[in-house]
Amino acid sequence: MVGLILVTGGAGFIGSHLVDTLLIAGYDVRVLDDFSTGKKENLRGAEALAAAHGGHFQLIAGDVRSEFKMRDAVDGCAAVCHLAAVASVTQSLADPVDTGSVTHGGTVNAVRMAVDAGVPRFVLASSCAVYGDAAQQPVVETSAPQPLSPYAEAKLAAEQTCAAAADAAQLAAVCLRFFNVYGPRQDPGSEYSGVISRFMAAAAAGAPVTVYGDGHQTRDFVYVGDVVDAILRAVQRPLSGVSVLNVGSGAPTSVLDVLGRLEELVGGPVPRRFAGARAGDIRDSRADAGRARWVLGWEPGETFAGGLEQTWAWYRERPVEPAAPGAPAAPGRSPHV
């Protein structure tokens, strides 16, 4: 497939990496972002990449809930990569109405406008949060959803919206359930940015890190470059109907293990403090990504050690003042799910 690709939330962490990759692959790229959490600096190289690879880049500032903005954004597109969302469990508990409005309502608007414009492919950035505390690990796509937060509920509803359009043969939909994505450009100031970005920002600033809970909870960390590869394949593969796919490494890693690996990169101990577990957090999470391998031919290519090293190099060069311990997450709409 060659053509124009829309990336909603394209100024964010995952979105901006996707924009770069699409431009390098020779696609024309259009971004829709309201910059509530996305950053224009994440797209500062987009024009140059487009020129170097014979493509075009366009940026539209706007909200995914705006019918007017979304209609303009999908016009002439070969695919929509929908990453815009309120991507914070804590924020969703504090403001479930806004979370549902943006994360689910924005998806309804995006799918409706895509169908009206005749866009053949819709790729949704979903989340492993839909599984909740799954009884069995690793989790497969047929595991019963058990959302523990309004954020997870909104993501599940967004998937159902995509499935309904696909079942009506209005477009082909791919719902990618991301596990714990990490890598350069991830904003440590966001509650949902992930433990790795918060730990690295604190270490770069010489500050102590905060471990919520006992630190033995496990996560499936997947490097942003591998996630972008999955999205690209979801755009390119000849698919029909709806596909719901896990995107994760398949390897469980505890929070304390992450801290230990960071200390190896730093070359010394990183001070730590412990705080109570946060509402809506799950205990363990691990993906079975076998279906993504079969449907997309995808598998993670970056090792955890290699991904951490690249991420630490980025944070070390761009030290950021970490958020104060216990500070509430800033409200906003983030493309990182």
Q: What is the mean pLDDT of residues 255-278?
A: 93
Q: Is the confidence at residue 154, as pLDDT, over 90?
A: yes
Please give the Cα distance from 132 to 285 (Å, whole number): 9
pLDDT in tens, 289-335: 999 999 999 999 999 999 999 999 999 887 554 444 433 333 333 33
Pairing of strands 218-223, 252-254: antiparallel
Please give the Cα distance from 41 to 33 (Å, whole number): 13
Mean pLDDT comparison of 46-55, 184-193, 273-282, 320-329, highest-scoring range: 46-55
Strand partners, 172: 121
Look up the pTM and report it.
Answer: 0.91
2 confidence band (pLDDT: 50, 70, 90): low
Q: Of residues 83 and 280, which shows the higher confidence score?
A: 83
Please give the Cα distance from 311 to 293 (Å, whole number): 25
**47: Cβ contacts below 8 Å, ≥ 6 apart:** 57
Residue 216 tokens, joined: 């033995």
Look at the chain and count its residues.
337
Residue 178's alpha-carbon distances to 52, 330, 337, in angstroms, are 30, 22, 7
- Indicate which residues carry an active-site annotation: 151
Domains within the chain, CATH numbers bracketed = 4-181+224-247 (3.40.50.720), 182-219+250-282+301-317 (3.90.25.10)
Strand partners, 5: 29, 79
Task: Give the per-residue pLDDT at 337.
Answer: 38
Q: Is the confidence at residue 141, as pLDDT, over 50?
A: yes
Task: Give the per-residue pLDDT at 191.
Answer: 55
As to burial, measured by CB atoms within 10 angstroms (0-12 exposed, 13-18 middle, 19+ buried), residue 222 is buried
- Stretch among 117-126, 241-250, 271-280 having the lowest mean pLDDT: 271-280
**218: Cβ contacts below 8 Å, ≥ 6 apart:** 252, 253, 254, 255, 283, 284, 285, 286
